[in-house]
Amino acid sequence: MVKKEPTEAIKSRLLTERKLIDAVGAIIKAKGYRALGVNEIAREAKVTKKLIYRYFENVDRLIETYVIEKDYWLSYKKNISNDIEGINKKSALVDTISSLLEKQFEYFWNEEEMQKIILWEISERTVLLDSMCKVRAEQGDILLEMSDPYFKNSPVSLRGVSALLVSGIYYMVLHAKKNDSTICGLDINSAEGRAEVQKSIRHIVEWAFQAGKAKNKII
């Protein structure tokens, strides 16, 4: 018979796990990813460092838990799966892809820690970050595979369009946050500028599907 952990012990563990996960975010935000270490995380969380190993096995697993919570594509995995289940025609697919990219732009704009994680990804290579990138790519690939039939024998590549949009979202936000400058005359530090970008994301996706259907009769 499996012995159940006392309720108070479970609550205590969950509270400590939360403190450690939040500590990772606080350190990234205040000092950057290079400051992440057992001692620094334990100090920020105000717990003993042995609890990191007890609850997460190692620091990388703790950081992975934090990144999964913060990353748009990873944290929205369940929501994306639910959206995909409701797709049964092209218009729904266009709307789903457009909405996900619009929300990604909004989410990335508001998440300072995630901005620093992306900077970390493009400046260093680690096993942990490679793993996160692969899982993120797998999530996006589900929608792209559903879209492929609409672009068969077409000069339009939705995968190329999507790559440019996702990369553009990251660059625009990081550029605006770091330099407080405009891009092509748009100030995305303003609500009006961000609205223009989100509107354009949807237009680009719609144009891609429109252009792709010239040689495809799928509806």
> What is the C-alpha to C-alpha distance for residues 15 and 48, in angstroms, rounded to an integer?
14
Which pLDDT does position 217 carry in this prediction? 53
Which pLDDT does position 85 carry in this prediction? 61
Which pLDDT does position 80 carry in this prediction? 61
Closest CA to 83 of 139, 20, 159: 139
Which pLDDT does position 64 carry in this prediction? 87
Which pLDDT does position 92 carry in this prediction? 85
Which pLDDT does position 53 carry in this prediction? 94
Q: Calculate ∠ Cα 86-90-94, nearest 5°.
A: 85
DSSP string across 164-191: HHHHHHHHHHHHHHHH---BTTB-TTSH
> What is the C-alpha to C-alpha distance for residues 127 and 116, in angstroms, rounded to an integer?
17
Which pLDDT does position 24 carry in this prediction? 94
Low-confidence ranges of the chain (pLDDT < 70): 1-6, 75-88, 214-219
Which pLDDT does position 219 carry in this prediction? 47
Which pLDDT does position 142 carry in this prediction? 79
> What is the C-alpha to C-alpha distance for residues 90 and 15, in angstroms, rounded to an integer?
45
Helix (H, G, I), strand (E, B) or coil at 214: helix
Instruction: Please indicate, yes or no, whether the overall pTM of this predicted structure exceeds 0.85.
Output: no
Which pLDDT does position 93 carry in this prediction? 87
Which pLDDT does position 9 carry in this prediction? 82
